[in-house]
Amino acid sequence: MPVTPQQRREILMNTENSLLFSPIRIGQLTLPARLFKTATAETRATLDGFATPAVVDFYTLLARGETPLIITGNIYVSRDGKSAPMQLGADHDDKIAGLAEVVDAVHAHGGKFFAQLNHCGRQVIPRFAQSPVAYSASNVKDLLTGTQPQALSVAEIQRFVACYADAAARCQRAGFDGVQLHSANGYLLSQFLTPYTNRRTDDYGGSMENRTRFHREILQAIRARLGPDFPVIIKMNGADWLPLRDGLKTGQLVDAAVMFERAGFDAVEISVGHYESGFPMVCGTFELGLRHMVDGSMRYLPEPRRTLLRVFRPLVTLASNLLWPGRQGYNLDYTPQFKEKLSIPVICVGGFRTRDAMEAAIAEGKCDAVSAGRAFIADPFFYRHTRDRQLGPRCVDCNGCVGHLGAQPAECYHPTVKADKDAMLAREGGLLAR
């Protein structure tokens, strides 16, 4: 809806003394505010990874909400790194034209747009993603999916370095304003960082210097292709959350982040956990999510594991509700330690829902910017509504979106919140108002 002059005056007064709505630099890029849309897999591509009108629509709404920086869901850099069906790919030049259409839709509304580049490593159910094989730093079986990966040879690591750089170059050609390497949540780059999944004894294992080598080589390869000014940021864990296994604690992850800053990354975004951790990544409640997961993303689990999941679902739900209740800014438990050692921006994701909580996180120096995922799935205009202190559809952390992930589009599946969202979109002219 058009803003009247009186409303514009109110908005300006509203944001005048706000840190959240003050500019921030990421590399050479200046963004007008510090609330971003984090990566959430869209699950709207074709089966072979091409962008569709549904992907364009998903991002058009976020851009219409004036979101200053949108990060795509994870995009696979090579076919064997695909983690789910209907995931976007940047593994071949024939994907550039489709990606460019998505970028143009965002740019038409003035937003900046980063592509998140990923290889899933061992975190895949190969039959679900139609992946031929699973790779990892070492051949450590994934306890959740039961997937047994092959350890990458040095030649294969070099092949993947080139895949990441090629994918970044394709994204730049498609018009993206920057890329984010996904090194959080237990995917391939995270598997290289973590001693539990990286048991190598060559130049890519052992010391932190070695376990960050793959990341640094990818960055160098991207810089060699795209120059020093193209923003490259990294998402990583603030804690691995792998009790009884050799996961990384915050101090060790800060050491890795310092190496990333020295290597030339432009910002870090802090998340938490691997698949094997359970659900610290998406604190909330788990009835809806787990109910859908058994027949959704987990429907290709080997049958004995699926039966276990079915039988123990009530217990897993209860335990998850107790262990990971929803709370705002839960990764602020880790970000202050990153802020202490880094000069590049530290972005905190996790549970943010209200303007006051986001303002406080930045004002208290716990992070430089915040990002949100589920809040934007419930309300694509979350940024504008937050800025203008208007109440939009409010995510209740039910994790229905997570339960459906991969099997169906990432969408709000909470009946009441979804009804609010549909009503709001109808009022705002829906996609027709593009």
Ligand X SMILES: Cc1cc2nc3c(=O)[nH]c(=O)nc-3n(C[C@H](O)[C@H](O)[C@H](O)COP(=O)(O)O)c2cc1C
Residues labelled catalytic: 187
Nearest distance from C-beta of residue 72 to ligand X, angstroms: 8
Piece in contact with ligand X (CB under 6 A), picked from 153-161, 240-248, 385-393, 400-408:
400-408
The residue from 60, 198, 237, 271 that contacts ligand X (CB under 6 A) is 271
Dig out the tokens for 229 from the structure.
């000014």
CB atoms within 10 A of CB 280: 23
Piece in contact with ligand X (CB under 6 A), picked from 38-46, 51-59, 103-111, 361-369:
38-46
Piece in contact with ligand X (CB under 6 A), picked from 20-28, 166-174, 195-203, 399-407:
399-407
What letter does residue 66 receive in the DSSP assignment? T
DSSP annotation string for 297-309: TTTTS-HHHHHHH
Residue 351 near ligand X by CB under 6 A: yes
Task: Convert 143-172 to b/e letters by CB count within 10 Å (16 or more is b).
Answer: ebbebebeebeeeebeebbebbbbbbbbbb
H/E stretch holding 89: none
Residue 65 near ligand X by CB under 6 A: no
Residues in contact with ligand X, total (CB under 6 A)? 25
Instruction: Give the helix ranges, DSSP H, for 71-125.
Output: 96-107
Q: Which residues contact 270 (CB under 8 A, 6 or more apart)?
A: 184, 235, 236, 237, 238, 331, 334, 335, 338, 346, 347, 348, 349, 367
Residue 34 near ligand X by CB under 6 A: no
The residue from 21, 36, 61, 74 that contacts ligand X (CB under 6 A) is 74
Residue 233 near ligand X by CB under 6 A: no
Within residues 401-420, the interface with ligand X by CB under 6 A covers 401-402, 405, 410
Piece in contact with ligand X (CB under 6 A), picked from 198-206, 236-244, 346-354, 424-432:
346-354
The residue from 282, 378, 396, 425 that contacts ligand X (CB under 6 A) is 282
Cβ proximity to ligand X, 200 vs 395, nearer residue? 395
Calpha distance 49→70 (Å, rounded): 20
Residue 41 near ligand X by CB under 6 A: yes
Dig out the tokens for 127 from the structure.
């039959």
Residue 293 near ligand X by CB under 6 A: no
Q: What is the 3-state secondary structure (H, E, C) of 16-49?
A: HCCCCCCCEEECCEEECCCEEECCCCCCCCCCCC
The residue from 82, 211, 215, 235 that contacts ligand X (CB under 6 A) is 235
The residue from 60, 67, 78, 116 that contacts ligand X (CB under 6 A) is 116
Q: Measured in Å, how far apart are the chain's first and last C-alpha atoms?
A: 12
Nearest distance from C-beta of residue 394 to ligand X, angstroms: 13
- Residue ranges in contact with ligand X by CB under 6 A: 38-41, 73-74, 116, 182, 184, 235, 271, 281-282, 349-352, 372-375, 401-402, 405, 410
